Amino acid sequence: MDLKKSVQQIDSLPSPDFILKKIVDTASSTSASAKELNDIVSKDSGFVSKLLKLANSSYYGLPKKVSKLTEAIMILGFKTVRNMALSIFANEQLFSFKSEELELRELWIHSLSVATIGETIAERIGFSNKEELFLCGLLHDIGKTVQGILFPLLFDAIVKVSRMKGWTYYRTEKELGVPTHEQFAEMLLEKWNFPELVSLAATRHHRTDDFGSSVYTDVVFITSLATYIAERLKYGDNGAGAPILVKHNLWKELGLTPLIMKDIVHMSAEKIGRLSEFYNPLSS
């Protein structure tokens, strides 16, 4: 397969529209106000209703029902609203292709679970931006959706061979000599102009052994570990025949102990049990 031709086809994929781009930019800005974010989101009434549906889901556990967007923004925070907006977009636009080998709902559940586990790890170890880990987990397998949308037969072949051989998804791609989902993720996220930490999480979570020192090392390691936990505990299905390979003693490098790991698994299971509103089609 010609990677250059694949790059050209990336342009045909769904992209965040103007409003979503503004939401992402505004929510990520340190100088933006709640009124600015509210004014942008309010331009799409359908989007507002979906955001409020998620805000009132059991996942966030708000003490009372939120009926106004301004309340949701103030209570949940800018980056959580951003993550909800991107969840809606991804669910509707990217996790909707047809596959003969994998139930797309299961791939979506896997991505949400990795997002939740990553956020939980960050919270448990005192990482300052846990919302960023949710976003990284949500989009860590975005390259697979690119494969599925543009090259459905290739996607199904990788899933089939991976399961038949008992290989990781990434190893299967390398054995078949095809462009990897990491490469597709890099191209798509570059096109979207997404932050480097999101791109690194999506393009290096399979390759932590040789990931050098970086300001984003913890982000990549947490995303990799979250993926491994989600696979081992069978939260959804990412099409792999074996769990991801993580760097030896990666959990120790993150300052985790067996007791903390046990807490993370327990906390994540409780949170994932409250994700049903995210599982269902958000347009309904």
Alpha helices in 94-141 (DSSP H): 104-125, 130-139
Average pLDDT score over residue span 66-82: 90
**Count of Cβ atoms closer than 10 Å to residue 195 Cβ:** 16
Residue with tokens 């982000």, as numbered in its chain: 219
Rounded-to-integer distance, Cα 75 and Cα 275, Å = 19
CATH architecture of 98-284: Orthogonal Bundle (1.10)
The mean predicted confidence, pLDDT, of the chain is 89
How do residues 146-172 score in pLDDT, each as one tens digit? 999 999 999 999 999 999 999 999 999
Per-residue pLDDT, 141 = 97
- At position 11, the amino acid (one-letter code) is D
Distance CA 182, CA 253 (A): 24
Sequence-distant (≥ 6) Cβ neighbours of residue 202 within 8 angstroms: 136, 139, 140, 141, 142, 143, 182, 185, 186, 189
Which two three-digit tokens encode residue 277? 């509103």
Tens-place pLDDT, residues 122-143: 999 998 889 999 999 999 999 9
Largest Cα span, the chain: 53
Could you read off the pLDDT of 173-224 as tens digits, one per residue? 999 999 999 999 999 999 888 889 999 999 999 999 888 778 899 999 999 9
Give residue 283's pLDDT. Answer: 45
In the predicted structure, residue 238 carries a pLDDT above the cut 90: yes
Q: CB-based contacts of 82: which residues, under 8 Å, 6+ apart?
A: 23, 24, 27, 28, 131, 135
E strand or H helix at 161: helix 152-165
Radius of gyration for the alpha carbons in the chain, expressed in angstroms and rounded: 18
Between 198 and 10, the more confident residue is 198
H/E run at residue 175: helix 169-176
pLDDT at 5: 61
46 band by pLDDT with thresholds 50, 70 and 90: confident
| Residue that is written with structure tokens 């999480």 in the block | 201
For residue range 243-277, what is the model confidence (pLDDT) as tens digits?
998 888 898 889 999 999 999 999 999 999 988 77
Would you say the C-alpha torsion 114, 60, 283, 13 has a positive or negative sign?
Answer: negative
Burial classification of residue 81, based on how many CB atoms lie within 10 Å of its CB (0-12 exposed, 13-18 middle, 19 or more buried): buried
Domain residue ranges of the chain, discontinuous segments joined by +? 15-93, 98-284
The closest of 91, 103, 88 to 237, measured between CA atoms, is: 103
